[in-house]
């Protein structure tokens, strides 16, 4: 799908879609959590991210002169029009995978939102300020679990290490700047991803070390999500998320 | 109804009193004012077209703007709260109400009233500790030391950072063994 001509709109859609797609993934845990408290935690985090996605999509809708409502952006775009990073659409697998994915994202999300508190875009600043408090709370939760599983039993250590290793190849994209990111950084609307990458690696290293886990070696990384080139997983996710609006167009709550 | 002599609009103090009768749908002992989510109330003159304006009184021409801020980004109670505010004001004769949403400055439990904290405690929910936010403990749930709302003991432990609504965390009292919700510092 071609990129929008407005780089700011692309940038906001990326922020929105990261939240929306991860929210949908976490919602799949509803009723399937490993324990009741965790079931509620995962769905609470999903709810926060859904609210954040709504705020970003409202802004995206305004930026494109309201050609599409926030609901249309969520429920009527096809996979090629989604701008989330590949990490967020990866399937839940087991609880270790879900926590590893959450830990990678929460660390990145908190750093980016902190940076966006100084954005020259007033609206981006406001939404970031609201989201950041929630993102930090999520990070405490996910990093707590990575430590608990890593420094737990042999079995839990094995499984979280595998999840950390398997998902590693989807993390490069979070901090790899393309032309949109460069433009946003130059206009001081978006963050400098080189700096975010450095801070992200430090934070990830610290927690993984505390968790007695091996930090994966840097290697080949998947990219494409931010430009709309996704893994197979996204299509299945959208089929479920968008079913109602596709089957019953314009249905209202 | 107490009214402003010149404009015959109800005083803002009175409107704040009416808003205080609107409950949080998730925690009904708290009013939206106790919760600190009503940020501003003001009258504005809508710039309607002059022919209709000339025929109408100033009162029916003015719009009451109520500015609210969400507790959490995805709080599902917000839609209900807005409808309830609208209804409460219309029942008292304010026909034109507009509700604006404001994200910044972001809501904090520091804005909860003292009465709100007391009501939470009486209801069995441990209120947010006012000093915790100032100590930079927002975005964290204290693992110990939240006083039990039932027996008052501080020998309590965090069970889960997340509870039955986005604003609560779940604790257990080691003294009386009762589980309880804590309205977490945010």
Q: Say if residue A178's pLDDT is above 70.
A: yes
Residue B90 inside a domain? The answer is yes
Say whether both B125 and B156 belong to one domain: yes
Q: Could you tell me what percent of chain A has a pLDDT over 90?
A: 95
- Going from N- to C-terminal start, the domains of chain A cover 7-247
Q: Which residues of A touch B37 (CB under 8 A)?
A: none
Lowest mean pLDDT among A26-40, A105-119, B30-44, B118-132: B118-132
Which of B71, B74, B104 is best to mutate for the A interface (most A CBs within 10 A)?
Answer: B74
Cβ-based neighbours of A208, under 8 Å, separated by 6 or more: A146, A150, A164, A214, A215
Residues B128, B97: one domain?
no
Residues 28-67 of A with CB under 8 A from B: 37-38, 40-41, 44-45, 47-52, 54-55
In a domain, B53, yes or no: yes
- The answer on B97 and B116 residing in a single domain is no
Q: How far apart are CA A8 and CA A234, in angstroms?
A: 24
DSSP three-state, residue B159: strand
Q: In angstroms, rounded to a whole number, what is the distance separating the alpha carbons of residues A126 and B58?
A: 35
- Name, in order, each residue with C-beta under 8 angstroms of A158's C-beta and a sequence gap of 6 or more: none
| pLDDT tens per residue across span B47-58 | 554 444 444 445
CB contact (8 A) between residue B166 and residue A136: no
- The two structure tokens encoding residue A150: 């890593």
Is B1 contained in some domain? no
Tens digit of pLDDT for each residue in B104-123?
999 999 999 999 999 999 99
Say if B6 falls within a structural domain: no
Do both B44 and B93 map to the same domain? yes
Residues B134 and B153 in one domain: yes
Handedness of CA A202, A208, A213, A219 (dihedral sign): negative
Report the SS3 class of residue B122.
helix
The pLDDT value given to residue B137: 57
Dist CA B142 CA A247 (whole Å): 46
Answering whether pTM is above 0.90, one says yes
Number of domains composing chain B: 2
Single out the residue of A76, A75, A72, A70 nearest to residue A56, CA to CA: A70
> Does residue B3 fall inside a structural domain?
no
Which pLDDT score, from 0 to 100, does residue B141 have?
76
Q: Is residue B2 part of a domain?
A: no
HSE at residue B69, side-chain half, CA atoms within 13 A, is 22
| Span of A3-12, A103-112, B131-140, B177-186 with lowest mean pLDDT | B131-140
Instruction: Determine whether the interchain pair B106/A40 forms a contact, defined as Cβ–Cβ distance below 8 Å.
Output: no
Query: Which among A44, A50, A136 has CB closest to B162?
Result: A44
Cβ-nearest to B161 among A41, A125, A127: A41
Place of tokens 């460069």: A182
Give the Cα separation of B130 and B185 in Å (integer). 8
Indicate whether B77 and B24 sit together in one domain.
yes
Whether residue B170 is predicted with pLDDT greater than 80 in this model: the reply is yes
Over residues A215-235, the pLDDT tens digits come to 999 899 999 999 999 999 999
8 A C-beta contact, residue A167 and residue A90: yes
Q: Which of residues B46, B66, B101 is at a domain's end?
A: B101
The percent of residues in chain A predicted with pLDDT above 70, rounded, is 99
The more confidently predicted of residues A220 and B46 is: A220
Q: What is the dihedral of CA B94, B100, B104, B105, to 10 degrees?
A: 10
**Are B4 and B96 contacting, i.e. CB atoms less than 8 angstroms apart?**
no
Q: What is the mean pLDDT of residues B149-161?
A: 94
Which among A24, A42, A201 has a CA at the least distance from the CA of A108? A201
Residue B158's SS3 state is strand
Contact between A67 and A6 under an 8 Å Cβ cutoff? The reply is: no
What is the model's pLDDT at position B54? 47
Q: Tell whether B41 and B71 lie within a shared domain.
A: yes
Which CATH homologous superfamily contains domain A7-247?
Answer: Ferritin, core subunit, four-helix bundle (1.20.1260.10)
Residues of A in contact with B105 (CB under 8 A): 129
Cα first-last separation, chain A: 30
Same domain? For B21 and B92 the reply is yes
**What 3-state class would DSSP assign to B173?**
strand
Closest to A26 measured CA to CA, from A80, A81, A105: A105
Contact A49 B103 (CB under 8 A): no
Structure-token match 């009723």, residue found:
A31
Element (DSSP H or E) covering residue A253: none
Look at residue B33 in the predicted model and tell me its pLDDT: 97
Mutate to test the interface with A, among B103, B105, B162 (most CBs of A within 10 A): B162
Report if residue B176 sits inside a domain: yes
B32 and B53 share one domain: yes
- Please, what sign has the CA dihedral across residues A35, B162, A131, A142? negative
**B106 in any annotated domain:** no
pLDDT mean across residues, chain A: 96
Out of A40, A48, A133, the one facing B74 most closely (by C-beta) is: A48
Contacts of A28 (CB under 8 A, 6+ apart): A92
Backbone φ and ψ of A100, nearest 5°:
-65, -45
Q: Cβ of B74 and A51 within 8 Å?
A: yes
User: Reduced to 3 states, what is the DSSP secondary structure of residue A126?
Assistant: helix
- Contact call for residues B110 and B133 (beta carbons, < 8 A): yes
Same domain assignment for residues B94 and B171: no
Beta strand B168-173 with B156-160: parallel, antiparallel or unpaired? antiparallel
8 Å CB contact between B179 and B153: no
Q: Which domain holds residue B116?
A: 111-183
pLDDT at B4: 54
pLDDT tens for B59-86 read 557 899 999 999 999 988 899 999 999 9
CATH of the domain at B47: 3.30.300.130
ipTM of this predicted structure: 0.88
DSSP for B36-99, written as a single string: T-EEEEEEEE----HHHHHHS-HHHHEEEEEEE--SSTT-THHHHHHHHHHHHHHHTT---EEE
Chain B: closest CA distance from residue A47 (Å): 5
Residues contacting residue B146 through CB under 8 Å, at least 6 positions apart:
B126, B129, B154, B156, B158, B171, B182
Report chain B's mean pLDDT, rounded to a whole number: 86
Last residue of a domain, one of B80, B101, B122: B101
Q: Are residues B81 and B119 in the same domain?
A: no
Note whether B102 and B39 are within 8 A (CB): yes
| Cα A186 to Cα A165: distance, rounded to the nearest angstrom | 34
């Amino acid at each position: 799908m071609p990129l929008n001509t407005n780089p700011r709109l692309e940038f906001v859609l990326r922020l929105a879609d990261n939240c929306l797609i991860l929210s949908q993934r976490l919602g799949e845990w509803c009723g399937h959590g490993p324990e009741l408290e965790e079931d509620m935690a995962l769905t609470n985090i999903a709810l926060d991210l859904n609210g954040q996605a709504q705020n970003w999509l409202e802004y995206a809708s305004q930026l494109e002169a309201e050609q599409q409502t926030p609901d249309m952006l969520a429920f009527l775009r096809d996979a090629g029009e989604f701008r989330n990073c590949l990490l967020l659409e990866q399937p839940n697998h087991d609880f270790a995978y879900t926590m590893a994915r959450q830990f990678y994202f929460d660390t990145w999300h908190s750093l980016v939102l902190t940076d966006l508190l100084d954005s020259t875009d007033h609206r981006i600043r406001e939404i970031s300020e609201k989201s950041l408090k929630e993102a930090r709370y999520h990070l405490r939760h996910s990093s707590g679990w990575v430590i608990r599983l890593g420094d737990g039993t042999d079995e839990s250590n094995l499984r979280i290490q595998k999840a950390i290793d398997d998902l590693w190849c989807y993390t490069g994209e979070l901090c790899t700047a393309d032309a949109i990111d460069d433009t946003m950084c130059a206009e001081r609307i978006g963050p400098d991803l080189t700096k975010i990458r450095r801070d992200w690696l430090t934070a990830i290293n610290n927690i993984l070390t505390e968790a007695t886990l091996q930090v994966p070696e840097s290697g080949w990384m998947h990219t494409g999500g931010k430009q709309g080139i996704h893994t197979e997983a996204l299509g299945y996710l959208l089929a479920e998320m968008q079913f109602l609006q596709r089957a019953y167009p314009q249905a209202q709550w | 109804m107490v009214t402003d002599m010149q404009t015959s609009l109800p005083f803002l103090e009175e409107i704040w009193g009416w808003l205080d009768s609107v409950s949080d749908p998730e925690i009904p002992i708290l009013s939206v004012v106790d919760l600190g989510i009503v940020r501003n109330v003001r009258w504005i003159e809508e710039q309607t077209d002059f022919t209709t304006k000339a025929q109408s009184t100033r009162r029916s021409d003015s719009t009451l703007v109520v500015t609210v801020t969400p507790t959490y980004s995805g709080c599902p109670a917000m839609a209900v709260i807005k409808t309830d505010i609208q209804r409460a004001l219309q029942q008292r004769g304010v026909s034109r109400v507009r509700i604006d949403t404001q994200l910044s400055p972001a809501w904090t439990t520091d804005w909860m009233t003292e009465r709100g904290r007391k009501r939470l405690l009486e209801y069995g929910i441990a209120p947010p500790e006012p000093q915790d936010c100032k100590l930079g403990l927002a975005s964290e749930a204290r693992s110990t030391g939240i006083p039990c709302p039932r027996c008052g003991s501080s020998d309590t432990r965090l069970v889960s950072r997340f509870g039955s609504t986005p604003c609560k965390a779940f604790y257990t009292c080691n003294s009386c063994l009762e589980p309880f919700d804590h309205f977490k510092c945010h």
